[in-house]
A = this chain, B = another copy of it.
Amino acid sequence: MSASGQALLALSGGVGGAKLVLGLAGELPAEALHVLVNTGDDFEHLGLHISPDIDTLLYTLSGLSNRQQGWGLADESWNTMASLERLGGDTWFRLGDRDMATHLWRRQQLSRGDTISQVTAELARRLGVQVRVYPMSDDPVRTTVHTENGDLPFQHYFVREQCRPAVTGFSFDGISAARPNRDVARLLQEHQPSRIIICPSNPFVSVDPILQVPGLWLSLRDNPAPVILVSPIVAGLAIKGPAAKMMAELGVPVTAAGVARHYCERYPGLVDHFVIDESDAILADEITALGLDVAVTRTIMNSDEDKRRLARFTLDLAQEEA
């Protein structure tokens, strides 16, 4: 753990969050960056434990990810899936042949009694990732998406149904019994982080599960570190994933202001700074009225330089407070 005052804690889901985390990793010493990751998307499939957001983080940080699609591995092949399809097996969730190795290895480690935190730390080490990546909890939390067609486990909604059913709400099964990741609890108690960044991840299914682990959001709010939220909605669109569609279906305005309102209503007093895209500058007053300090910049991250630039902007933002 880094010296007091130097640690940065980021909260992240998958692809969108991983982009900013990669930018942060380029701007900070590896040991200073701690990432708390959603595991509500985790599920058991084909006898394997699948942790999509953790793997997206680790693959991105290790440089092994498929940079075009943002998830999965580069130079991937799909022969297991092709043969499984021939057998009439379940192939709606596509695991590449190289990605399969991660899952077989993880299965073995879990079978011998290791926690998800231990397995994640060891996987990071083996992939050469020095940034600390933590599952939000070692206890199983499973996101259920309530839709007009009934309840769906998250990956069924997200991958099998390709987010088609209109959502009516979410629940996080197991969350009331989930204990927060111990290393992050210790980081918050013993090593004052300089900043807490909520990455541009889906508020409903990536960040909410993390914040709703009992005790977690209050410990973030009550921590002196400034909390900086980066908007996942730009010009009324989600850069990646179903956030915008979900907001529309839930009757929330599909704007950065709608995102701000979501956080302010559910987690009053948590967010200090809200980073919005320059295309949304017109919303600044509306967001400021919610009590947030608004910062405007270009938030779309296409290139690595975009990621580092947004990371620097975010770090500079709270510089005087840190």
Contacts and interface: CB of A to CB of B under 8 A. Distances in A.
A89 interface: yes
A94 to B, nearest CB: 12
Given A79-B77, A79-B97, A105 B126 contact: no
Interface residues of A, number: 32
Given A87-B126, A102-B87, A47 B108 contact: yes
Interface string A63-83: 000000000010011011111
Identical chains in the assembly: 2
A235 interface: no
B98 A80 contact: yes
Given A46-B107, A108-B46, A108-B47, A77 B101 contact: no
Nearest to A90: B108
A149 interface: no
Nearest to A77: B79
Nearest to A46: B104
A102 B81 CA distance: 10
A88 interface: yes
A53 B76 CA distance: 30
Interface in A78-137: 79-84, 86-90, 96-102, 104-105, 107-108, 111, 123, 126-127
A101 B126 contact: no
A264 B105 CA distance: 46
Nearest to A88: B126
A48 B127 CA distance: 24
Interface in A26-52: 46-48
Nearest to A73: B83
A146 B131 CA distance: 47
A89 to B, nearest CB: 5
A223 to B, nearest CB: 35
Contacts of A76: 79
Contacts of A127: 87
A125 to B, nearest CB: 10
A47 B79 contact: no
Contact of A111 (B47, B83, B101, B126): B47
A148 B68 CA distance: 55
Contacts of A87: 101-102, 105, 123, 126-127
Contacts of A111: 47
Nearest to A109: B89
Contact of A104 (B86, B89, B101): B89
Interface of A: 46-48, 73, 76-77, 79-84, 86-90, 96-102, 104-105, 107-108, 111, 123, 126-127
